[in-house]
Amino acid sequence: MRNQALVKRYAEGLAGALKSVEEYDAVRRELSEFSDILETNANLRDVLLRPFLPAEKKTRIVEDVLDRQSCLEKTRRFVHLLLRHRRMEILSPVLRDLPSLWNEHHGVVSFEIRSVVPVEDGQRIKLEAELRKLEGRPVSCAYVLDPGIVGGLYIKKGNMVYDVSLKGQLERLKEIIRER
């Protein structure tokens, strides 16, 4: 739990530091590329996570990688912040949480929509219009394919869930039967 709180703190700090959509898109892309490099290069990851390697050496290695990517200053500062505080392992979870925190910081409500089959464009437009109407402000929807819900939709906003899936209905029916 402590790690999740730490991830949220860093993601919120980063979301608050990014001032425009263009800057957000660029920094998120650069951090994703850096994270991909760490994921695919075990030697680099091990070196950066090694506690006994001098910080100056790690900094030079990170600078070399960031120079090859031609990263923005905010990307560089965030990576160095993680490195300095020995938190490089939370980069991937920070990137996972960043979009919803960015949206929240800018007054956009984030929804996760799960379905068995891809939601068609016309259905997306109607669904997003209805969610905008319900929320009274802009919405951002992330669509995920999930064969486990069998049919229908599973809509999540923060900790709130609107489960109109077949699986959810069957679970509710099962609870009703148990109570009798």
Q: Is residue 180 pLDDT above 90, yes or no?
A: no
Residue 113: strand pairing partners: 143, 155
Digit-coded pLDDT (tens) for 8-49: 999 999 999 998 889 999 999 999 999 999 899 888 888 888
**Averaged confidence pLDDT in the chain:** 88
CB 138 within 8 A of CB 163: no
Give the Cα separation of 72 and 75 in Å (integer). 5
For the chain, the structural domain boundaries read 2-103, 109-179
**Tens of pLDDT, residues 132-166:** 999 998 998 999 999 888 888 889 987 888 888 87
Give the pair of three-digit tokens for residue 25.
């898109």
- Write down the CATH number for the domain with range 2-103: 1.10.520
In whole angstroms, what is the distance from residue 93 CA to residue 8 CA?
A: 9
Output the pLDDT for position 2: 58
Q: What is the pTM of this model?
A: 0.69
